[in-house]
Amino acid sequence: MKHILVPVGTNPNAHETLQYAIDFASEFSSKIFMMDVFNVSAKTGSLANISEKVAESSKERLKEVIGKVDVKHIEVKIATYNGDIADGLNQIDKELGIDLIIVAPRSNDIKEELYLGHTTGKIIKQTNIPTLIVPRGTVFTPFKNILTAFKSGFLKRKRILDPLIMIKNQFRSKVDLLLVKTPGYSDDDLQVNSALMDISSQLTITENATTYLGVMEHFQSKHPDLLCVFRRKRGFFKKLWEKSTILKSEFSAPIPVLILSVKKD
Residue-wise pLDDT tens digits, 193-220: 999 999 998 999 999 988 888 988 888 8
Q: What span, in angstroms and rounded, lies between the C-alpha atoms of 216 and 199? A: 23
Q: How far apart are CA 158 and CA 198, in angstroms?
A: 12
Q: Which of 78, 105, 133 is the last residue of a domain?
A: 133
Where does a domain end: 103, 133, 163? Answer: 133
Burial grade of 180 (CB within 10 A; 0-12, 13-18, 19 or more): buried
Helix locations, 46-157, DSSP H: 50-66, 85-96, 118-126
Q: Is residue 140 part of a domain?
A: no
Residue 76: inside a domain: yes
pTM above 0.85, yes or no: yes
pLDDT above 90 as % of the chain: 44
Q: In terms of residue numbers, what domain contains 92?
A: 3-133
Burial class (CB in 10 A: 0-12, 13-18, 19+), 25: buried
Q: Residues 180, 203: contact at Cβ < 8 Å?
A: no
Per the rule left: phi > 0, alpha: psi between -120 and 50, beta: everything else, 184 is: left
Are 168 and 247 part of one and the same domain?
yes
Rounded to 5 degrees, φ, ψ at 90 are -65, -35
**In total, how many domains does the chain have?**
2
Residues 64-106 pLDDT 10s: 889 999 999 998 998 877 777 788 888 888 888 999 999 988 6
Q: Which of 133, 154, 188 is the last residue of a domain?
A: 133
